[in-house]
Structure 1
């Protein structure tokens, strides 16, 4: 199954550079940027699987699926660019507020922070009031908008647990009951977990080729037939493992 993902990454990389788009068009630029990130995140996930480094892999998968949700929403509603702008400006607002409060880790010595914050606050207010698109208030809302409630309720909790200091994830990784000796063993870098990850390998292959189809549709059907045909082959290959 790792070979299928590797092939999907190679196909996607080869086709990504062939897309023609206007970089000044937010929809096209944001879609292509997210697509390229999906290819890179897939490659990172594949590398971790290849070397059986499972800890951290589902954090990568979580980033992947969040990016996929954004791309799907861009395809469903071009005005979703407002959501991405809003999220970006919120991050800027947070950074500049921290700098203004003399945070040790972030400095903008040559910037008028009051002016910048006023400017950003104005843009955020404008995006909130925009009638073309109602902003999402949570990641759950984004998944729902993408029609991916099942993924949010069924997969995302596990991905979040792996990404944070979850006791479930910690005990799953590092403690194993030895039934023979009736004791708990401490484990570091357990290499015997591949079967638990076959689901994620299959899904990330499917999501990545589907992402190419989404981009092809956004960019006026460029390479659409090639992506659709390739998805059929990938799904057929994955069926062998199901």
Structure 2
């Protein structure tokens, strides 16, 4: 349910960004949206997928607590290094992660998540492109700020002039949210799943 709630809020954020013509952050948010959708589908298909998510949680938490225990990182100073609580949390996460791994639930890479959701083609195309924007790939930077002026044999660098058509983001985001809505209502047996069968946006 929390993943579905995230999809709703990501959708709302994307619409607000595109309506305000601040497209630069659109691909970055859409990347997070797509990752959330993959987790949602995996969990919907197999409730035990939640154990993989728990494994990822403990793996990441262990990294933070181990770094914090060194006492040298100022950004983690809010967590006292000498308290029994922090030591207990670290030891507990190590135990939990070890137990999950022994049961076959190791943290999954992003590729394995997409593979498990049967959307590898999307990973190798849509997701790869979105990552270029998140990681400030040269192609993404050129697309954002670089505007050729061939008649003058020069170029301009400009802010807030993104020219990309955002329609693919809106249409894909709509379809993913529709599918997710149908899935969650089917799982909950709410009686409203049929409202999300149509692939056409509501005219209301």
The reply to whether TM is greater than 0.5 is yes
Displacement of 1:86 in angstroms is: 1.0
Counterpart in 1 of 2:127? 156
Displacement of 1:176 in angstroms is: 1.4
Give secondary structure in 2 for the equivalent of 1:120.
Answer: helix
CA contact (8 A) 1:176 1:185 kept: yes
CA contact (8 A) 1:216 1:222 kept: yes
TM-score by length of 2: 0.90
CA contact (8 A) 1:39 1:208 kept: yes
Q: What number of residue pairs does the alignment pair up?
A: 198
What is the 5 A alignment of 1:180-199?
A: 180-193=151-164, 195=165, 197-199=166-168
Quick one: distance in 1 between partners of 2:4 and 2:150? 46
Displacement of 1:191 in angstroms is: 4.5
TM-score by length of 1: 0.77
Counterpart in 2 of 1:106? 76
Q: Give the 3 Å change call, closer, same or farther, for CA 192–137 of structure 1 in structure 2.
A: closer
1:197-217 Cα shifts (integer Å, max 9, x gaps) = 211110100101111122123
Quick one: distance in 2 between partners of 1:78 and 1:114? 31
Counterpart in 2 of 1:23? none
Quick one: distance in 2 between partners of 1:44 and 1:129? 39
Displacement of 1:76 in angstroms is: 1.0
1:72-97 Cα shifts (integer Å, max 9, x gaps) = 00111110010111111122112211
Quick one: distance in 2 between partners of 1:179 and 1:208? 41
1:188-239 Cα shifts (integer Å, max 9, x gaps) = 111533x2x21111010010111112212332x223xx3333341xx2349x
RMSD: 1.7
Matched, 1:50 2:50: no
Unaligned ranges ≥5, structure 2: none
Counterpart in 1 of 2:109? 138
Q: Give the 3 Å change call, closer, same or farther, for CA 89–211 of structure 1 in structure 2.
A: same
